[in-house]
Structure 1
């Protein structure tokens, strides 16, 4: 592997520095570096970040390769600056056994655009009735540490308690999709003024908040870790803030789309805005941004949810829920958090690399940009601004809510252990 000299990059948004990569490792960071025979990447004015880590990605393989595959999903990840993604368990068959999670893990190894860490299901078949093979998945080659029935809530309190007790033995974490099913029957969007005016079934905030309140109390009782997926309401923020003030071991994520978009967009009846949990109000959006800035919300996770054209290009009621997000996440975070002054680039690195790697126990990922560390890096042209064109996506699906919308920032280079996966905005 050749040497690479990244010249003049603003490391984590700070002063310009040179970064020398040698053999998959950061060899040196400083000013005026040189290396004979090194490939030079001129990075003046650009921001260098540690490779991004997504704790919540749907790669769809096995079973829904018409939406996404491990190959296309990891190519999309590399395009967005990611060097690790955690693949959700709601595949067909469900990733509830050691065999299925190892299949996904091996596919990630074969394709090499980023590391793929499978997430194991909490319950067999995501049915919420019987615990899946949590220990076997953890002990498998995939080394699963995160478990989730995402797409469905672990709504039975006894099952949730048992899962928390089980994963505690090996330092795992249960990532909860907080949605009380009885309160969301027939729900199609956020419950509020807009749903009333449109006559669409409302999805009340309390359906999310009640599950989060229950689960932080269960985690406290058991002494285990719980992670809240795609937190979306101001009330949920307050519950997590209270739990953290009590010393409860809870972490939480927010998606880029919940930081930017509101339920007012549903007035278009465009199914691209149909997502689970639903887009909320402007008040919720502002609360989520503030919570991400002050650390109440720990990380940004994409909830990248690809769907084929026919599943979204239909009437609202029949449309699938979800949005793709890997290739636009960093731009949305720049728009909502950096350009508004709520976070600096070091804060972005913390919320999109360091902390998600810590929560998921992603070895070698989410590391400082310093000598001796693995060369998992992302270079960003933060001065760029332009419209989103899904025709250029690496993802197999195109269900983005940002088509034609101008967003800032563009990932120009991504390196995975010193190997370039993206060069000048093009996949290698």
Structure 2
């Protein structure tokens, strides 16, 4: 790698540590930016340089575009890696970096804007021949218009924010009365979270599977997929356990899905690593859900089955190098599962900040963690403290490994969701691969 000499990481926690590791391997210098709350965090210590960019509140630190760009200029960084969350899908950030002659390690601003709009992305996918969930592709102007369209689409349906993401800005609607009540609050929530209150309607698919395809494109016009990930174990539309390959897909459906995902990637001229997300009904019909124009939290399971380092691939593509392999060179081997370890109550999902007084972790398994024993989990950011990733020769083998690993993990000082992760992995429906996005709600109801 000769293009990047120094990269600033506009993120924190486990993803910052992950990027630092691969940069060290490639001989690239790293700069960490951190808030006052993260001054003693491991990622700050592990980077070659570190710059404090403000107080604990994300809006005054990790979401402050100008402070981060100033840190990049002061340290001489020629590239910025946004990780995921925070500014990773912020078109203004990408555009400002470009104006300063600093490479944003991700897609260009126009693609971020295009895929950041649920309405525009639906239209692009339809042009590419990618199936989308039945619904209304235009923005809703009034509650009266929403009611009229809902009558045509049919209940139940989803009232969604066009700029939404991460499960935010979505309301399930069963009847006209609910739509009347939810319209203003969903619009207000979208405006507060995304600065954009544009809403649209989609048909609700009950008991769906959430399956995504890892994709990549280069500046030479080549695109590839790196197979799919099953992400249906969710709480409040947030993923908890992911695996690859999906136990739900037969090979014929898998190939149709992968080819369809590439149609969408080609349509928008994608030039980096990204993810096409799809929703499946119980008849294995699938529909485009959204595209994430960044690295995903669950990217390690793809790395485990393909042997391809996705962060390194991002860096090479950002340096405008061609894809280092062809589609036929990408093979999948065995099965991988990832569990997200959160500092939160496993029943209520309330965060549990505090000092981790004891952290016992097994050896011989991939652990992408934000913290170490003695560190603090602050109340200011997402409560995920680490990811446990296993790989096995088969899905059964991977499940057994994950179960063994979870039994060895011990956390004191905070409440962690380890019991929930064990419950999921040991559940017979999960072990048979017979689960949907409603799996976790049902599991918690049974074990309440």
TM beyond 0.5: no
Q: Which one has the bigger strand percentage? A: 2
Give TM-score, length-normalised by structure 2: 0.30
Give TM-score, length-normalised by structure 1: 0.31
Which structure has more RCO (C-alpha within 8 Å, separation ≥ 6)?
1
